[in-house]
Amino acid sequence: MKTLTLCVAGIYASFILWGYLQERLSEPYNGRSFKAPMIVNAIQSFFAMIVGSIYLSVKTKRLSTPMDPILENPKMIYQLALIAVLSSGSSAVGMKSLENVGYLTYLLAKSCKLIPVMIVSVLVYRKRFPVHKYCIALCISAGVILFTLKPKSLSSTMDSSPGNWKGYLCLLISLFFDGLLNSSQDQLFKTFKLSGAQLMAALNMLTFILISSYIVLFTDQLPYFVSFIQVSPQLLQNAILYGIAGAIGQIFIFLTLEKFDSIVLTTVTVTRKMFSMVLSVLLFGHSLSLQQQVGVGLVFGGICYESWLKSFGSQAKAKTKLS
């Protein structure tokens, strides 16, 4: 319980700041919006690789590099590469969606991650879940639908523009990647008995290599980024802080995956996104209609119900042992 509490506190603290900085990155700088999401992902993976290597060195009590886990388990390179592609793809497509949908819509859509994670776990890895977990997932989904369907009072994030379907399509693709990503990480831990530190360092190294190669070979985002920060240096500062906050948060994410599983992690990150949404409302002056408030309530209600069931189950087990 102490480990889970530590993980939850770490994820909340680091990723609430990360979410705030993500919205800052999506806002205009000197009248221009920054449209190079792969650069942001590269910065994120670079700092996560560095922090992951430090984390791994502390755990192993020796100087370690991101290559060490791969050299110890060469067979996992293919699964790692797949996860790296899914991770970078989900993040990039998710950032792309912000060009057509509001940030609050993005947060609530991402809160639907439980469903693709469960679907992929059942269809691909033949995992089974109790009935109440499906009910909770449906409850969260209903909240997401209520929030995103015909939004009326998101004063700062207009989702009713003609091109908003592109944003929703990007979100669906990103959610599918998330489901495959989380389920594949579970499988990787079980197959190779990795620690969270090992996976964090190795995965972010591969992600950084893949993203950087793609940027250099197939896009003009690097010169665009250089020219952009010359005019708006504040973007670079926000991007660096974004990368550091995400890297610290990943320590707790991979610790949660190591000690628990992707369903527990997804539940934690969903609640984190809700707190990020509330923070966004408070700091950026967004407003929510009654329909959207009901949607948020359903999402929170599903999460609280899951917590209550776990608490009730623990108490029942304790009473059984005493008797």
Each residue of 76-98: pLDDT tens digit? 898 899 998 888 888 778 878 87
Tokens standing for 274? 């809700």
pLDDT at 66: 93
**Crossing angle between the packed helical segments 262-284 and 114-123, to the nearest 10 degrees:** 160
| Residue 276 · residue 16 · CB < 8 Å | yes
Above 50 in pLDDT, residue 255? Answer: yes
Instruction: Check whether 103 has a pLDDT greater than 80.
Output: no
Res 38 pLDDT > 50: yes
Mean pLDDT of the chain: 83
User: Whole-angstrom Cα distance, residue 193 to residue 263?
Assistant: 18
How much is the pLDDT for 131? 85
Residue 30, phi then psi, degrees to nearest 5: 50, 40
- What's the pLDDT at 165? 79
Of the pLDDT bands very low, low, confident and very high (cuts 50, 70, 90), residue 153 is very low
Most confident of 81-90, 112-121, 128-137, 241-250: 241-250
- Backbone phi, then psi, for 130, in 5-degree steps? -65, 160
Residue spans per domain, the chain = 1-34+232-286
Which tops the pLDDT comparison, 240 or 166? 240
Among the residue ranges 240-244, 262-266, 295-299, 306-310, the one predicted with the least confidence is 306-310
Considering 112-116, 192-196, 242-246, 295-299, the range whose residues carry the highest mean pLDDT is 242-246
Task: Say what the pLDDT of residue 189 is.
Answer: 85
Percent of the chain whose predicted confidence (pLDDT) is above 70: 84
Q: Is the pLDDT of residue 154 over 60?
A: no
Q: What is the pLDDT of residue 188?
A: 87
Q: How far apart are CA 37 and CA 235, in angstroms?
A: 12
The structure's pTM equals 0.76
